Amino acid sequence: MKCRSKFSSGICVIGEFMIFSLQIISHLSRVKKRTFEIIKQMQRIGYDSLLLITVTSAFTGLVTSVQASYQTSGYIPKRLIGVLVGKSTMIELAPVLTGLVLAGKVGASIAAEIGTMKVSEQLDALETMAIDPNDYVYMPRILAAAIMVPILTVYSNFIGIFSAFFLSVHKYGVNSHSFFSNMRDFFLPSDLWGGLIKAFLFGLVISSVGCFAGNKAAGGAEGVGKVTTLTVVYSSIIILIMDFIVASILFGN
């Protein structure tokens, strides 16, 4: 059935995406046979993104320290800056910014790679050799992203918090002991786990949207460029929407 209106086209795309995702989930039982490919994708997504995440997280921490000092001046003691930095970084800044940055790097890379395989008929060649792309191509990338994005988020937490600590101590005169002691006193396990749940879902979104869009590529190089752009745009939008939904469920009360 053809989808003619924009609304029905959107419903069709959502339905196709759900079917696509379910087909990949059905191949999770073959994880052990794809261990090498999964580790390879984990390296590409995780290790190859360390420098980018380091720079992003460091300056995010510095900006957080500046904003926390400015916005709380005269209202909240400076010794509590560590509490504001810790909670805002773990709950919101680290997972969301890591997700958005990786949507541009990893999501675009996955879409471009699979899109090129699609237009050059490499995916069709795999099927003629009785190799299911859902098992060999898509599943390792999605699983690797679901694992590595939370790990990168933990790394982002450390870099962001220590960057904010460095600036708070050396520029705003915050006591180094009180910075971490107050952060520890007000820390809740849900702060960390909430951010990691977001990161896990963001990893699934980035990789699955990239795989789905790449699989829809057509029309040569122009088509590959188009799906790459759409992957970054839609992944970023879904990340922000999902951030609100997860935050409402976990912290809304």
Reply yes or no on whether the pLDDT at 151 is more than 60.
Answer: yes
**18 within domain boundaries:** no
pLDDT at 14: 84
Of 29-38, 66-75, 124-133, 191-200, the range with the highest mean pLDDT is 191-200
Separation of alpha carbons 231 and 240, rounded Å:
14
Distant-in-sequence, close-in-space partners of 205: CB < 8 Å, separation ≥ 6: 99, 235, 238, 239, 242
Please tell me the predicted confidence (pLDDT) of residue 106: 94
What pLDDT is recorded for position 3? 54
Confidence of residue 4 (pLDDT cuts 50, 70, 90): low
User: Is 221 a domain residue?
Assistant: yes
User: pLDDT tens digits, residue range 194-221?
Assistant: 999 999 999 999 999 999 999 988 888 8
Report yes or no on 211 lying in a domain: yes
Residue 162 lies in a domain: yes
Inside any domain, residue 215: yes
Alpha-carbon torsion, ordered 87, 88, 94, 97, to 10 deg: 170
Between 80 and 140, residue with greater pLDDT: 140
Is 79 among the domain residues?
A: yes
Instruction: State how many domains the chain has.
Output: 1
Range of the domain at 215: 34-245
Specify if 183 maps to a domain.
Answer: yes
Q: Does the pLDDT at position 48 exceed 90?
A: yes
Q: Is the pLDDT of residue 118 over 50?
A: yes
Q: What is the pLDDT of residue 82?
A: 85
Query: Which of 102-106, 110-114, 175-179 comes out lowest in average pLDDT?
Result: 175-179
pTM of the complete model:
0.90
Residue that wins the pLDDT comparison between 129 and 80 = 129
The helices-and-strands tally (H runs, E runs) of the chain is 12, 0
Task: Please give the pLDDT value at position 53.
Answer: 96
| % of residues, the chain, pLDDT over 70 | 96
How sure is the predictor about 146, in pLDDT bands with cuts at 50, 70 and 90? very high
On whether residue 27 sits in a domain, the answer given is: no
pLDDT band of 89, cuts 50, 70, 90 = very high
Name the residue with tokens 């900006």.
Answer: 63
Give dist(CA 97, CA 59) in Å, integer: 11
Confidence grade of residue 6 (pLDDT, cut at 50, 70, 90): low
Tell me: pLDDT of 1 over 50. Answer: no
